[in-house]
A and B are shown apart, each in its own frame.
Chain A
Amino acid sequence: MLIELFNLTKNFKEVKAVDNISFKVNRGEVFGLLGENGAGKTTTLRMLATMLKPTSGKVLIDGSNLLDEPEKVRSKIGILFGGTTGLYDRLTAYENIEYFGLLNGMDKREIKYSINNLLKDLDMNEYINRKVGKFSKGMKQKVAIARSIVHDPKIMFFDEPTSGLDVTSVRMVHKFIEKLRKSGKTIVFSSHSMKEVDKLCDTVGIIHKGKMAEVTSLSDLRNKYNDLDLEEIFIEIIGDKNEH
């Protein structure tokens, strides 16, 4: 197991954003966190990325305890957010990627080599030395992907990575995730899009109101719900939970 969560909880004052969730992700697996807006997906990913401290529970990432060795954990992960790409507009695409490479312990030579490989994969040659301020959303998302993967992390977290993107950019992100899967990366992927999860994930965790409603492989889920469409399965699960 590369990622293990045990009874993870996060409270914001009286609000339980994440309530006692547990799941495991195998090496090389694509794990989809599926849930509505405000279900607790981003808070879970933020805890896994060491940005937020859990209120209780335990997380092991590649054998390192999240609370005891946060810096060690951070060296093994990359994270990509959707909606806003989080880039520095006054820096060039190269400078943006290089900055995050340096902050992940790489030297300039290693970064150059890594960026050259990413340029081919993401087709960014044309604008790599231009300031990102005037880039389109799709171009920015490519730079953000490159920035999150430049240090070649074992684990990638994607937090709604296609949110607000056009069809072409969504396809590009999906292709890139497929490529990462093929290269053996472990991916935790949050989305509220059933289609996306269906297309990309091996295992799915359905999160609702901070609680993990279901964790299983996509094939087991379909068997359990008589080959229903994922959207209908989702409605059935969260409907059950709402009734309870």
Chain B
Amino acid sequence: MNIRYMLIVLRKELKDTFRDKKTIFSSIIIPILIFPILVLALGSGASDMLEEEKRPIEVAIIGNENTSIFTYLKKHKNIEIKSYTNPEKALKDLKIKAIIKIDTNFDETINENKTVNLDIIYDESSQKSAMAKPRLERIIDEYSNKILEERLKALNIKPNILNVVNINTKSVTIKDNGFALMMFSMMLPMLLTIWSAIGGIPAATDLGAGEKERKTLEALLTTKASRVSILLGKYFTIVIAGIMGTLASLLGFLIASKLNPDFLGSGVSLPPSSIGIIAIFCVGLSLTFSGIELAISFYARNFKEAQTYLTPLTIILLIPAYLTMYLDGRAIPEVYFNIPIINIISIIKEVLVSVINPLHIFIVLLWTILYVSISIFITVRMFNKESVIFRN
């Protein structure tokens, strides 16, 4: 192997790869845009829901209008009473969010200090109607508490006698809001792992199968450069493309967190050592997958075939990424540090919640070195096989 030739191939491949609009689009532009678009879409859906929460609930009331509950609901700012000849149809058509059915002897039953029935009819299949249900329950609870207070007062009992334990909750996470942090530690490891692994696919497809299809590989094999030099030049191009894809997706993530801080948090500050650990393992993942992708690409007869073989790789990666999405960074089972891909996600999750466990890092580092070695070994073997290179 001659490093000079490897660097010549690397320089040329980088120039060629980043002149390709398809690669720029799929390796840089898409990763930058995907998170901001996702957050904006989710954000607009969420703000619709928030708006709905603020609006008065349209309800139809069946039963005696001369009751205290009817007057209470009529006066309530969060209730808008509508009148329909067929309230059930109005609910189905979502003209109203719920129907409230009041017992005929509502006030009499209350005055007798008994429990009275009230029905809330809603449509579980409608998100807006389902959201109205707990809001209505809270409003009726307020009414119920008012009556309860009056009953206790009549018995000369202080209403606070019903409060036995006063619960105060406090999160140890002082910075940012908890939901945002949770989303951050859920999404970031997934994003880093997926892009580190698949970010190099467009480049790998072009550098292996693309080169075979264009017949440029044959001319390349007749130069003074050894096959290993050529292969490593291509391999490191894919690694760099993968890292650039990861950095682009990180940039997209940062843009998204600025666009919607409530959703992803306004950013978590990590110490340089944590960033270093995360970077090492992301590069490890890129080194492993770049080799596999290049080997698959060389095996394929043409560009299309390579795309067919490489697409399932993305789906395979999504499985461990989703499996570990809800994994708690402070309570990761030991076995997870020995499972490919999951072990790298686990380390990133630990580091994000400030858990730096040297043993875990050492175990995963050893595994990563093994994966990278196997990946390069397979790729070199593939590239030296005539039946693979001249498969056409």
Contact = CB atoms under 8 A, between A and B. Distances in A.
Determine chain B's interface SS by DSSP, over half rule: helix
A51 B221 contact: yes
Interface stretch (B223-231, B245-253, B340-348): B223-231
Given A90-B19, A99-B12, A77 B222 contact: yes
Given A52-B390, A53-B386, A71 B216 contact: no
A51 B218 contact: yes
Contact of A99 (B8, B20, B386): B8
Interface in B237-251: none
A89 B215 CA distance: 12
B176 interface: no
A91 B222 CA distance: 20
A74 B225 CA distance: 9
A79 B219 contact: yes
B233 to A, nearest CB: 10
B223 A104 contact: yes
B220 A103 contact: yes
A130 to B, nearest CB: 13
Nearest to B206: A90
Contact of B222 (A50, A87, A99): A50
Given A46-B218, A74-B224, A103-B8, 10 more contacts: A74-B223, A79-B222, A81-B218, A88-B16, A91-B15, A95-B12, A95-B15, A100-B219, A102-B8, A104-B223
A71 B227 CA distance: 10
Interface residues of A, number: 31
14 contacts: A49-B222, A52-B386, A79-B218, A81-B219, A84-B215, A85-B215, A86-B217, A88-B12, A91-B12, A91-B16, A99-B8, A100-B219, A103-B8, A104-B223
Contact of A86 (B214, B224, B390): B214
Given A51-B221, A51-B222, A103 B15 contact: no
Interface-central residue, B15, B222, B225, by most chain A CB under 10 Å: B222
B5 interface: yes
Interface of A: 46, 49-53, 71, 74-75, 77-79, 81, 83-91, 95, 99-100, 102-105, 147-148
Interface residues of B, number: 23
Contacts of B222: 49-51, 74, 77-79
Nearest to A98: B12
A99 B5 CA distance: 10
A92 to B, nearest CB: 10
B208 to A, nearest CB: 14
Contact of A71 (B12, B15, B224): B224
B359 to A, nearest CB: 46
Given A53-B386, A99-B12, A86 B223 contact: no
B241 to A, nearest CB: 15
B8 A90 contact: no
B224 A104 contact: yes
A153 to B, nearest CB: 10
A75 B19 CA distance: 30
Nearest to A101: B223
Nearest to A85: B215
Nearest to A48: B222
